[in-house]
Amino acid sequence: MRYNRLGRTALTVSELSFGAAPLGSVYGAFAEQDGIDAVHTALDLGINFFDVAPYYGATTAESALGRALRGVDRDSYLLATKVGRYGAADFDFGAERVKGSVTESLDRLGTDHLDLIQCHDIEFGSLDRIVEETLPALRELQQAGLVRYVGITGYPLPVLGYVAARTPVDSVLSYCRHTLHDRRLAGWKHRFATYGTGVINASPLAMGALTARGAPDWHPGSAELRERCAAAAELCGAAGVDLAKLALQFSVSTTHAATTLVGTHDPDDVRRNVAWLAEPMDRELLIRVEACLEPVRDRGWTSGRAAVRGPGERA
CB-based contacts of 275: which residues, under 8 Å, 6+ apart? Answer: none
Per DSSP, the three-state class of 139 is helix
User: How many Å apart are CA 76 and CA 14, to the nearest integer?
Assistant: 12
User: How many Å apart are CA 201 and CA 303, to the nearest integer?
Assistant: 17
CB-based contacts of 44: which residues, under 8 Å, 6+ apart? Answer: none
Angle at 275 between CA 44 and CA 200, to 5 degrees: 75
* CA nearest to 173, candidates 187, 191, 157, 190: 157
User: How many Å apart are CA 67 and CA 265, to the nearest integer?
Assistant: 14
Per DSSP, the three-state class of 258 is coil
Residue type, 59: T
- Whole-angstrom CA distances from 260 to 173, 211, 231, 246 are 10, 17, 25, 14
Output the CA torsion sign for 106, 107, 109, 110: positive
User: How many Å apart are CA 252 and CA 110, to the nearest integer?
Assistant: 30
Catalytic residue among 27, 55, 56, 175: 56
User: How many Å apart are CA 188 and CA 49, to the nearest integer?
Assistant: 23
Output the CA torsion sign for 69, 1, 214, 123: positive
User: Is residue 56 among the annotated active site residues?
Assistant: yes
Residues with a known catalytic role: 56
